[in-house]
Chains A and B, each alone.
Chain A
Amino acid sequence: MIEIPHSSRRSVLTGGVTTLSAAGLVALLGGSLPAEARQSNRPGQDVQLLNAALALEHEGIAAYQIAAESGLLSADILKVGIAFQSHHKTHRDDLATAIRRLGGQAAASKSTAEYAAALGVSALKTQNDVLKLALGLERGAANAYLGLIPSLEATEFHLLSARIAGDEAFHAAILGNVLNEPIPQTAPIFG
C-alpha cells in the first residue's frame, strides 16, 4: 500500500473527486504509481516523454514492416528483421502500459505511408540501403533512450528507458556487424 502524501490527501478532501488528477486516482486506488510522479506538480511530464518514446517505437515497427515488404532482404536478414520488430512491439506495449497507468492516453501509430515518406524509403534500392537506415534508427534510438533518462521523473521509468536502450544498442551492434562496420575503438559507444 502506498502512502499518499499529505498535500494530495488534503486536495482530495477539500477539492473533491473532480479535482483529483488521474495520477492521484491511481495512487488512491493503490496502483503502483512511483513516489516521484505522485509528488510532482506535473504528473503529465512522464506521460509526455513516454509518449514521444512510444512514437519512436511506432516508427521503428513501421520501418521494419516496410523493410520486410520491400523484397530487398534475403531470407536470413528478413528473419533478423522480424525478431527485431517483435522486440519493438514489446517496447511499444510496455510504454503504452506505463502511459495508461499514469492516466495518460497512449499515442496511436500513423499510417505506414506517412512513415515511409518521412523516412525517405523511396530512395532505398538495395539490402544495404535498408540495413543502413535500420542501423541509423537503432543507434539513434539507443542514444535517445539514454539521453531521456535524466528528464524522466520516476525511477521505474529510468529503468525502463535504460532497458530499452540496451535492446536498441544490441540491434545496432548486430546491424553494424552485418554491414561490416568497424568496431568503435573508443568507449562509451552510446549515450
Chain B
Amino acid sequence: MRVLVLGMGMVIGGALLAGSAAPRGNAARGGDLYRTKCGACHSLDNNRVGPAHRGVVGRRSGTAPGFRYSRALSSSNIVWTPANLDRWLTAPTLMVPGTAMGFRLASPQDRADVIAYLQQNGSAR
C-alpha cells in the first residue's frame, strides 16, 4: 500500500513537472549518446575540436585548461549547471552568439541523459 501511494505520488509529481522541468536523466544511456553524438568533437579527458568534459558540471564556461575557446564563450561567464547545459545543448548559438559549437540535441530526454552522464563524470581521474 505504501508503495502504491508512493507510486501514485510519483506519477502525479511527474505530470506536474512535465513541461516545466527537464526529464530525469539516465547516465548509462547518456554515455552511449555522448559517444555517438558528442564523440566526434569531445572526450572526457582530452581537448579535441571541443574542450575536455570531465568535471564540466558546475564548472565555469571557457575554463578547460589548454583549450582555445571562441571569444564569445570565454567571455560568457556561465556556470554549467544542469539547467544551463540543457539550454546550451538545445541551441548553443542562441545561448552564446558567436560560439564555435553549433551542435544541437533536440530531444529533452537525450539532453537529460547526456547531462546525467557528464554529472557522473564529475571528479578528476
Contacts and interface: CB of A to CB of B under 8 A. Distances in A.
Interface residues of B, number: 27
A140 B42 CA distance: 10
Interface stretch (B5-13, B21-29, B55-63, B97-105): B97-105
Nearest to B43: A118
Nearest to A56: B49
A187 B69 CA distance: 35
A176 interface: no
A45 interface: yes
A140 B38 contact: yes
A150 B104 contact: yes
A42 B98 CA distance: 7
Q: Secondary structure of the A side of the interface?
A: helix
Contacts of A143: 36-37, 40
B77 interface: no
B97 A56 contact: no
Contacts of B41: 52, 56, 140, 144
Given A137-B40, A147-B105, A49 B100 contact: yes
B97 A45 contact: yes
Given A59-B48, A118-B43, A148 B37 contact: no
Interface of A: 42, 44-45, 48-49, 51-52, 55-56, 59, 117-120, 136-137, 139-141, 143-144, 147-148, 150-152
CB-CB nearest 3 A-B residue pairs: A140-B40, A151-B102, A49-B102
Interface of B: 35-41, 43, 46-50, 70, 72, 91-93, 97-105
